[in-house]
Amino acid sequence: MPLDRSGPGGPRARDDPGIRAPTAGPGAVARTLVRMLDGVPAELVPARLCEAVLGLLPVSGLAMSLGGEGGGDIPLHASDGTARRLAQLQFTLGEGPGVRAAEVFAPVLAPDLAGGTDAHRWPLFAPRAVAAGARSVFALPLGTSTVVLGTMDLYRDTPGMLKAADLRAAMLAADAVTVLLVAFDHGPAPVEGVAAWLHDAENHRTEVYQAAGMIMSQLRLGADEALALLRARAFREGRTATEVARDVIGHTTDLRENGRAEG
């Protein structure tokens, strides 16, 4: 899996001589995570999985999100309020390291969102991420080069690049999470919890696209335009896209006036 190297001073690629091949594969890390989940009630699996990954990495928090290429992700679970806010911002704004990681299927590393290249790459996301308490974000795709399940977004409240060993561990953890998500249909109770978790997240994403469909019909817009209008409304009101979508579906928010004004 190559790294996203856009912008000057990008991180070294995985085959760089300074980054050696890991000694343990994703299967070993997945088994470690499964052992840590042994006996955990199904409803607590998402939180415990985040805790387990956090135990492997020197980061402040993380969010795991479900989504596809270029479409923004719906949070599956977040370790804390800042991680949850980062996931919501990226889905609402349609930009950020996680969105980019899903698009290119490569780790996207942003060591300093308060200045330099990272702040310019995501002009809407970066200042709001910093205000939420994240100074650096490291997004890793979940899935394969042909099927993108979502992303795992790590953040720290201080600037700085991950060390090579920590980046290797993060990539292995992302691969391990992918193994668990892909295998959830064939596992015991803890994995059934992951299935319910995925179903919940999918429901949230369905609400957004249901609302976008209603906007398309009302304003005779294309899908991309309708989704952009919904996200713009969420951005202006400081809310999430899911919250605005629920109001549209419940007929408590009408975007037709906005659509005519902005068209």
- The residue whose two tokens read 């803890």 is 190
**C-alpha span between 260 and 262 (Å, rounded):** 6
Which neighbouring-strand residues pair with 69? none
Residues 160 and 251 in one domain: no
pLDDT tens track for 249-262: 888 887 766 544 34
pLDDT tens track for 93-135: 889 999 999 888 889 999 999 988 999 999 999 999 999 999 9
- The last residue of one of the domains, among 160, 182, 204, is 182
Question: Which domain range does residue 258 map to?
Answer: 193-262
pLDDT tens track for 210-235: 887 888 788 887 776 787 788 788 87
Residues 199 and 169 in one domain: no
Q: Is the dihedral of CA 84, 151, 140, 223 positive or negative?
A: negative
How are beta strands 148-156 and 108-110 bridged, if at all?
unpaired
Residue 219 lies in a domain: yes
Residue pair 106/99 in contact (Cβ under 8 Å)? The answer is no
Residue pair 78/84 in contact (Cβ under 8 Å)? The answer is yes
CATH code, 258? 1.10.10
Residues 226 and 153 in one domain: no
Residue 2 lies in a domain: no
CA 69 to chain centre: 11
Residue pair 203/246 in contact (Cβ under 8 Å)? The answer is no
pTM check: above 0.95: no
pLDDT at 81: 93
**C-alpha span between 97 and 4 (Å, rounded):** 10
What size, in residues, is the chain?
263
pLDDT at 183: 59
**C-alpha span between 263 and 258 (Å, rounded):** 8
Residues 79-96 have a mean pLDDT of: 91
pLDDT at 92: 86
Residues 91 and 138 in one domain: yes
Residues 52 and 150 in one domain: yes
- The last residue of one of the domains, among 140, 163, 182, is 182
Domain count, the chain: 2
